[in-house]
C-alpha cells in the first residue's frame, strides 16, 4: 500500500444502501500508526447517527452506524470499530470469530466526526501500539450504516458471501507492508 490511498466500499447486495450514495476511505500510514478517513456521502437525514458525547471503549457498536477496520497479524487479526459519537472498540481474534478474551488494548484510537449537507466524515487515528505485529499484514475496510428507520446496510471493499460477513479473510484486500 502506498503511504496514502483512497478506497471505495460497496454495499452488500442483500441489503439496502443505508441512504448513502457512496463510501470512500482514505488510508494514510506513518511511523505513528494508521489514519482512516471515512467519507459517507448522502443525505444526513437518511442516516441514524448515535448521539454525540459517548466516548471511550464500548461493545456492539456495529448495531448502529459504525466504521470498521480489520487488520491481520499476530497469527490472527484485530477488529477496530469507530462510532461517530466517539466510542470505539478494539478486539483481537486468534482465528475467524475466535475472540481473545484476555486482550486489552494498550492504547486508544482517536476519533473525530463531522456531518455536513453532503454526509458524514469520520477520521480514526490508530496508534502504532494498537496495530498487530508480524507480516504480511492486510487491511479490510467496512462500515455499517443505519437508516433513519433503523434498517442496517453493510459496506465493504468486497463481499464474498450471501450474507454480510466482515470477518472473512478474503475481504481483507489491502496489503499494509508492501513498499
- Whether the per-residue pLDDT at 78 is higher than 90: the answer is yes
Total-model pTM: 0.94
Q: Which of 4, 42, 36, 5 is nearest to 23 (CA)?
A: 42
Q: Where do the structural domains in the chain lie, given as residue ranges? A: 4-175
Greater model confidence, 129 or 46: 129
Q: Which helix (H) or strand (E) holds 106?
A: none
Q: Radius of gyration over alpha carbons of the chain, in Å?
A: 15
Tell me the average pLDDT across 63-83.
95
SS3 label, residue 53: coil
Give the tens place of pLDDT for each residue, 146-167. 988 888 999 999 999 999 999 9
Tell me, what's the pLDDT at 89? 97
d(CA 87, CA 62): 11
For residues 26 and 34, is the Cβ–Cβ distance under 8 A? no
**What residue has cell string 448515535?**
50
**What residue has cell string 458524514?**
120
Instruction: Report the chain's mean pLDDT, rounded to a whole number.
Output: 91
**Architecture of the structural domain at 4-175:** Sandwich (2.60)
Lowest mean pLDDT among 17-21, 120-124, 164-168: 17-21
Tell me, what's the pLDDT at 103? 96
Which backbone phi and psi does 80 adopt, to 5 degrees? Answer: -120, 130
Give percent of the chain with pLDDT exceeding 70: 96
Amino acid at each position: 500500500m502506498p503511504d496514502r490511498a483512497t478506497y471505495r466500499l460497496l454495499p452488500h447486495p442483500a441489503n439496502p444502501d443505508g441512504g448513502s450514495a457512496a463510501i470512500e476511505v482514505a488510508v494514510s500510514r506513518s511511523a505513528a500508526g494508521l489514519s482512516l478517513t471515512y467519507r459517507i456521502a448522502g443525505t444526513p437525514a437518511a442516516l441514524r447517527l448515535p448521539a454525540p458525547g459517548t466516548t471511550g471503549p464500548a461493545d456492539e457498536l456495529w448495531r448502529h452506524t459504525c466504521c470498521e477496520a480489520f487488520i491481520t497479524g499476530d497469527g490472527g487479526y484485530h477488529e477496530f470499530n469507530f462510532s461517530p459519537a466517539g466510542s470505539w472498540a478494539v478486539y483481537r481474534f486468534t482465528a475467524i470469530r475466535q475472540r481473545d478474551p484476555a486482550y486489552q488494548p494498550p492504547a486508544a484510537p482517536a476519533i473525530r466526526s463531522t456531518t455536513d449537507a453532503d454526509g458524514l466524515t469520520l477520521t480514526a487515528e490508530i496508534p502504532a501500539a494498537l496495530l498487530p505485529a508480524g507480516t504480511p499484514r492486510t487491511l479490510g475496510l467496512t462500515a455499517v450504516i443505519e437508516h433513519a428507520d433503523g434498517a442496517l446496510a453493510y459496506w465493504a471493499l468486497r463481499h464474498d458471501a450471501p450474507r454480510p460477513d466482515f470477518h472473512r479473510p478474503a475481504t481483507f484486500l489491502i496489503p499494509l507492508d508492501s513498499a
